């Protein structure tokens, strides 16, 4: 018995050390990234995998959309490059939306880890690139071919030698080549640091590989997740929500079934895919659906291939939650990041009194650009291409107010205005909470942010409203709470910008963007 207890203790210590390794991996990426959305907002992920490509542990730093799509992405790499063919110094890369993390802006890198020339596992990481060519971060494209440069599964490095041809192609097709190159090398570097840390850890504990520990992690996590699901009421519950959409409103419909086998979510009845770039590939839908389920069922159980295997997602082909190639997908998080809210709505009936109200859901990735190519600009206009993150309010909780200007479910932070101002001639006149935007109730919904932006040059600038949502359909309250206030995007001179298109802010005018508030919970006393 004592030997068994000692073995269990060692397993737990090594498991925790493994999480420390991937957390360091993520922090190396944070420290080396060139792009502000990675460096400042934390739009990234990092994880470790066994020799079969199964995710064993993830860094806490990062987003569910990245981590949970990467949970299956590594296996796709191994289909193209079998594990037995890989050598020390190899690094694989892709930005395939359907076999990666959902759109062309996210590059996934996979690095095999070796101990004394023996393969012991893989490290994967991903982050959002500022620009991959094409139309840029807009939703106007009607096919993925317009959205930027597609990189199939290739080698970014082979036995330590960088693929300079691939780097040259990427840099030649980006408006921000230095940032793209820097971020790719950051991905490569964070994986390389993690491989060294893993080898050192195995030597410290006199382990030859991760196989036994990996099986223990996955089976323990799977069993714990199953037990958590079995403690819930059994049955099927349905919910739906309506979004603004692009060319037409979108209905998201879900049927959630809890059984002894786990949790299944079926999106039958959901709207068909859009002609424009707000579609979610199935991998991204799986990622955020699983996250929503896990938040309710077992938030404390480690997130890995074992616990995720208990959650199954069905989605009719070529609906907006399972878009097929070559659908445009740049702004896929408009849909994907709303799915945890929909999952919460399904859980409302069986778990009455334990589920938060709806929140803003998807964050706004606001792409600003300027220069001579913007309509009405002069040849003297400064060229720039920057991103700002705008965040709405979370829904109120059964016992607490909702959090204001907090990105749920992505967990991404805002980019400081000083960073955006240093990279462009833009000036943020105002960035503050939109007072009263949270829905009323026994507990108030979180408030969204409001921003007012102008160009310090006497020149126009462009704003891509690809991810602006909840301007017509607010976050709903729960248990008698009020809905949050809808979003609003307008010019300072008064003109409303109603759609997801790209608009030009005339010289001397300002952009005013007010994010949606979260729904309230319970009736006011």
DSSP 250: E
* Residues sharing a CB contact under 8 Å with residue 195, sequence separation 6 or more, in sequence order: 111, 112, 113, 114, 123
Answer yes or no: is pLDDT of 364 > 90. yes
Q: Are residues 342 and 457 in the same domain?
A: no
Answer yes or no: is pLDDT of 186 > 70. yes
Per the document, the length of the chain is 525
Give per-residue pLDDT as tens, 372-387. Answer: 999 999 999 999 999 9
Q: Are residues 405 and 420 in the same domain?
A: yes
Compare 200 and 352 and report the one with higher pLDDT.
200
Residue 511 forms part of a structural domain: yes
Domain boundary residue among 352, 377, 406?
Answer: 352
Q: Are residues 410 and 347 in the same domain?
A: no
At residue 293, the pLDDT reads 98
At residue 62, the pLDDT reads 85
**Segments forming the whole domain that contains residue 451:** 356-525
Which of the four pLDDT bands, split at 50, 70 and 90, describes residue 4?
A: low
Say if CB 386 and CB 37 are below 8 A apart.
no
Q: Are residues 401 and 523 in the same domain?
A: yes
Q: Are residues 187 and 248 in the same domain?
A: no
| 410 vs 258: CA distance, rounded Å | 25
| H or E stretch at 344 | helix 339-347
Answer yes or no: is pLDDT of 3 > 90. no
Give per-residue pLDDT as tens, 211-265. Answer: 899 999 999 999 999 999 999 999 999 999 999 999 999 999 999 999 999 999 9
Q: Are residues 150 and 239 in the same domain?
A: no
At residue 5, the pLDDT reads 58
φ/ψ of 223, rounded to 5, equals -60, -45
Give per-residue pLDDT as tens, 471-525. Answer: 999 999 999 999 999 999 999 999 999 999 999 999 999 999 999 999 999 998 8
Domain boundary residue among 322, 337, 352?
Answer: 352
Domain boundary residue among 317, 352, 387?
Answer: 352
Q: Are residues 140 and 51 in the same domain?
A: yes
Give per-residue pLDDT as tens, 389-424. Answer: 999 999 999 999 999 999 999 999 999 999 999 999
Which of the four pLDDT bands, split at 50, 70 and 90, describes residue 7?
A: confident
φ/ψ of 23, rounded to 5, equals -70, -40
Residue 45 forms part of a structural domain: yes
Residue 217 forms part of a structural domain: no
Q: Are residues 166 and 17 in the same domain?
A: yes
Closest CA to 201 of 14, 397, 4: 14
Q: Are residues 101 and 234 in the same domain?
A: no
Answer yes or no: is pLDDT of 275 > 90. yes
Answer yes or no: is pLDDT of 182 > 80. yes
Answer yes or no: is pLDDT of 1 > 60. no
Residue 370 forms part of a structural domain: yes
Q: Are residues 347 and 276 in the same domain?
A: yes
Answer yes or no: is pLDDT of 51 > 90. yes
Give per-residue pLDDT as tens, 152-175. Answer: 999 999 999 999 999 999 999 999
Residue 225 forms part of a structural domain: no
| Biggest CA pair distance of the chain | 79
Residue 491 forms part of a structural domain: yes
Helix (H, G, I), strand (E, B) or coil at 47: strand
Give per-residue pLDDT as tens, 98-153. Answer: 999 999 999 999 999 999 999 999 999 999 999 999 999 999 999 999 999 999 99
At residue 394, the pLDDT reads 98
Give per-residue pLDDT as tens, 339-352. Answer: 999 999 999 999 98
Q: Are residues 239 and 360 in the same domain?
A: no
Which of the four pLDDT bands, split at 50, 70 and 90, describes residue 326?
A: very high
Number of domains in the chain: 3
Say if CB 485 and CB 517 are below 8 A apart.
yes
Q: Are residues 360 and 427 in the same domain?
A: yes
Compare 9 and 308 and report the one with higher pLDDT.
308
Q: Where are the beta strands (DSSP E) in 129-248?
A: 154-158, 161-162, 235-243
At residue 387, the pLDDT reads 94
């Amino acid at each position: 018995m004592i030997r068994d207890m000692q073995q269990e203790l060692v397993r737990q210590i090594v498991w925790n050390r493994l999480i420390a390794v991937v957390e360091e991996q993520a922090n190396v990426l944070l420290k080396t990234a060139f792009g502000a959305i990675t460096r400042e907002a934390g739009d990234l992920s990092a994880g470790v995998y066994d020799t079969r490509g199964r995710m064993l542990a993830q860094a806490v730093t990062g987003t569910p959309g990245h981590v949970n799509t990467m949970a299956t992405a590594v296996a796709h790499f191994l289909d193209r490059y079998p594990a037995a063919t890989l050598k020390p110094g190899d690094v694989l890369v892709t930005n395939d939306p359907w076999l990666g993390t959902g759109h062309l802006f996210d590059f996934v890198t996979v690095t095999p880890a070796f101990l004394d020339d023996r393969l012991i596992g893989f490290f994967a990481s991903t982050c959002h690139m500022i620009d991959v060519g094409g139309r840029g971060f807009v939703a106007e494209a009607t096919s993925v071919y317009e959205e930027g440069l597609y990189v199939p599964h290739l080698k970014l490095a082979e036995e330590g030698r960088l693929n300079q041809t691939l780097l040259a192609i990427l840099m030649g097709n980006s408006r921000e080549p230095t940032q793209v190159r820097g971020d790719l090398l950051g991905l490569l570097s964070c994986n390389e640091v993690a491989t060294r840390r893993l080898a050192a850890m195995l030597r410290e504990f006199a382990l030859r590989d991760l196989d036994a520990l990996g099986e223990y992690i996955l089976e323990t996590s799977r069993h714990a997740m199953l037990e958590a699901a079995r403690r819930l009421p059994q049955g099927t519950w349905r919910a739906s929500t309506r979004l603004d959409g692009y060319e037409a409103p979108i209905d998201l419909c879900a049927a959630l079934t809890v059984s002894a086998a786990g949790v299944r979510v079926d999106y039958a009845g959901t709207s068909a895919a859009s002609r424009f770039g707000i579609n979610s590939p199935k991998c991204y839908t799986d990622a955020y659906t699983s996250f929503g389920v896990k938040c309710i069922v077992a938030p404390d159980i480690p997130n890995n291939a074992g616990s995720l295997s208990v959650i199954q997602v069905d989605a009719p082909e070529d609906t907006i939650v399972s878009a097929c190639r070559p659908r445009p997908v740049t702004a896929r998080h408009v849909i994907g990041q709303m799915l945890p809210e929909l999952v919460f709505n399904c859980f409302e009936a069986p778990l009455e009194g334990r589920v938060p109200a709806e929140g803003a859901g998807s964050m706004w990735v606001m792409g600003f650009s300027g220069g001579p190519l913007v309509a009405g600009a002069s040849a003297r206009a400064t060229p720039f291409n920057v991103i700002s993150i705008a965040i709405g309010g979370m829904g109120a909780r059964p016992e607490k107010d909702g959090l204001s200007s907090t990105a749920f479910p992505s967990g991404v932070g805002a980019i400081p205005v000083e960073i955006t101002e240093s990279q462009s001639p833009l000036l943020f006149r105002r960035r503050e909470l939109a007072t009263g935007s949270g829905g009323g109730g026994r507990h108030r919904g979180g408030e969204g942010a409001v921003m007012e932006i102008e160009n310090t040059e006497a020149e126009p600038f462009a704003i891509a409203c690809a991810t602006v949502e909840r301007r017509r359909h607010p976050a709903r309250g729960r248990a008698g709470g009020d809905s949050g206030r809808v979003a609003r995007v307008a010019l300072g001179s008064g003109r409303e910008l109603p759609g997801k298109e790209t608009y030009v802010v005339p010289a001397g005018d300002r952009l005013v963007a007010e994010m949606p508030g979260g729904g309230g919970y319970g009736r006011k006393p």
